[in-house]
């Protein structure tokens, strides 16, 4: 990584990996305010904005600049040391942390922690509801940014409060339980797991049908979409057993669960990328004659949620 590449990284994503979450979000996600990562404070004085196709920052109690300036200040080092620390921090997720110059209004991308990361610990599980402050913010994210029907969201998701053990702060996210008694969590700025990562299983009505998704956001997107355009398919999906892989690396475990279920039909809602295509081919070879590839619904898009979000945005702009 060189200096110019470092300046194009997403500062919100980097801050998230360092354990800092925004206190408030302005200008459609293009301006985020934080309690300063350089000192302890109650009122946020640090903010970052997406300007000129890159993230810049300003700290009222300190200084400001680019992502590279932030790294030199945060790690108390020179440019060479800052680049080395950034590469170590982002590791294999480097590509996903680059800002998107062609779409300046895109919210900060979520980042991932390794499965079973001990940095995070579960504090509390609550029903996802608009009646709580945190629940209202999460539902706003799910409905406005992800296009999910709120009634569907509250049926399948919970509010997860968790602690970052490195900075001692408590955060919240929407989540779904997995079969290893952990939780897969997501909010506007963060994506990870609490406890051991695993497959999430949603029991249907014993109709010997199953549906497989890579993530819970795509499952909720499918329900939202079908509820508005095809009630028969909506009802069929509601009644089927649903397996949410939560990681393409769980294809073997997902296969074992599917074989245990002895299903007569398996609907595949996998991503339209290289990994998704490989997983689809794997399932089709393991369950010959009973798989149904449903990715044609969101053809030309990475996944069901991307298709749903862009479709809704297109409708609003007409």
| Domain-embedded: residue 299 | yes
Domain stop point among 168, 194, 220? 194
Domain stop point among 178, 194, 210? 194
Tell whether 126 and 221 lie within a shared domain. no
| Domain-embedded: residue 104 | no
Q: How far is CA 144 from CA 74, 147, 150, 172, 174, in A?
A: 33, 6, 10, 18, 14
Query: Rounded to the nearest 10 degrees, how much is the dihedral formed by the CA atoms of 87, 88, 91, 93?
Result: -60
Predicted local distance difference test score (pLDDT) of residue 106: 35
How confident is the model over 57-107, as pLDDT tens digits? Answer: 988 766 788 999 999 888 888 898 889 888 877 764 444 455 433 333 333
Q: Give the confidence band of 204 by pLDDT, cuts at 50, 70, 90.
A: very high
CA distance 190 to 183: 14
Tell whether 209 and 176 lie within a shared domain. no
Tell whether 177 and 225 lie within a shared domain. no
Higher pLDDT, 209 or 62: 209
Tell whether 146 and 253 lie within a shared domain. no
How confident is the model over 120-146, as pLDDT tens digits? Answer: 889 999 999 988 888 999 999 999 989
Domain stop point among 173, 194, 215? 194
| Domain-embedded: residue 108 | no
Predicted local distance difference test score (pLDDT) of residue 294: 96
How confident is the model over 219-278, as pLDDT tens digits? Answer: 999 999 999 999 999 999 999 999 999 988 899 999 999 999 989 999 999 999 998 999
Query: Which are the contacts of 267, defined by CB distance < 8 A and separation ≥ 6?
Result: 209, 210, 211, 212, 237, 240, 291, 292, 294
Tell whether 124 and 86 lie within a shared domain. no
CATH code for position 69 = 3.90.580.10
How confident is the model over 16-30, as pLDDT tens digits? Answer: 888 888 888 887 777
Predicted local distance difference test score (pLDDT) of residue 315: 64
| Domain-embedded: residue 254 | yes
Tell whether 228 and 268 lie within a shared domain. yes
What is the percentage of the chain residues whose pLDDT exceeds 90? 49
Tell whether 185 and 225 lie within a shared domain. no
Q: How far is CA 107 from CA 13, 26, 60, 151, 189, in A?
A: 10, 11, 23, 24, 8
Predicted local distance difference test score (pLDDT) of residue 203: 94
| Domain-embedded: residue 78 | yes
| Domain-embedded: residue 114 | no
Tell whether 143 and 61 lie within a shared domain. no
| Domain-embedded: residue 106 | no
| Domain-embedded: residue 313 | yes
Number of domains in the chain: 3
Does residue 7 surpass a pLDDT of 80?
yes
Tell whether 190 and 204 lie within a shared domain. no
Give the pLDDT mean for 184-203: 89
Kindly report the average pLDDT of the chain as a whole number: 85
In which domain, by residue range, is 41 found? 3-97
């Amino acid at each position: 990584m060189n200096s110019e590449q470092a300046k194009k990284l997403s500062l919100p994503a980097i801050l998230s990996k360092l354990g800092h979450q925004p206190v408030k979000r302005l200008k459609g996600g293009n301006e985020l305010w934080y309690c300063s990562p350089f000192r302890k404070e109650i009122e946020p004085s640090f903010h970052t904005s997406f300007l000129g196709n890159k993230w810049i920052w300003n700290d009222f109690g300190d200084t400001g600049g680019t992502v590279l300036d932030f790294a030199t200040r945060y790690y108390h080092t020179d440019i060479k040391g800052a680049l080395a620390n950034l590469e170590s921090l982002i590791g294999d997720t480097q590509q996903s942390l680059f800002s998107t110059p062609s779409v300046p209004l895109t919210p900060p991308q979520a980042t991932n922690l390794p499965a079973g990361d001990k940095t995070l610990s579960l504090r509390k599980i609550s029903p996802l509801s608009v009646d709580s402050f945190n629940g209202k913010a999460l539902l706003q994210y799910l409905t406005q940014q992800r296009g999910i029907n709120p009634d569907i969201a509250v049926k399948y998701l919970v509010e997860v409060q968790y602690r970052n053990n490195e900075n001692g702060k408590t955060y919240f996210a929407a989540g779904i339980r997995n079969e290893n008694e952990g939780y897969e969590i997501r909010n506007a700025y963060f994506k990870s797991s609490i406890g051991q990562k695993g497959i999430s299983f949603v029991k249907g009505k014993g109709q010997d049908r199953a549906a497989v998704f890579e993530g819970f956001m795509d499952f909720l997107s499918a329900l939202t979409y079908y509820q508005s355009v095809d009630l028969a398919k909506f009802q069929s999906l509601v009644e089927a057993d649903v397996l949410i892989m939560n990681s393409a690396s769980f294809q073997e475990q997902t296969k074992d669960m599917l074989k245990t279920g002895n299903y007569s039909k398996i609907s595949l809602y996998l991503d339209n990328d290289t990994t998704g295509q490989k997983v689809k081919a794997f399932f089709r070879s393991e369950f010959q004659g009973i798989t149904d590839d449903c990715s044609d619904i969101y053809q030309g898009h990475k996944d069901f949620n991307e298709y749903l979000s862009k479709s809704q945005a297109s409708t609003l702009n007409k």
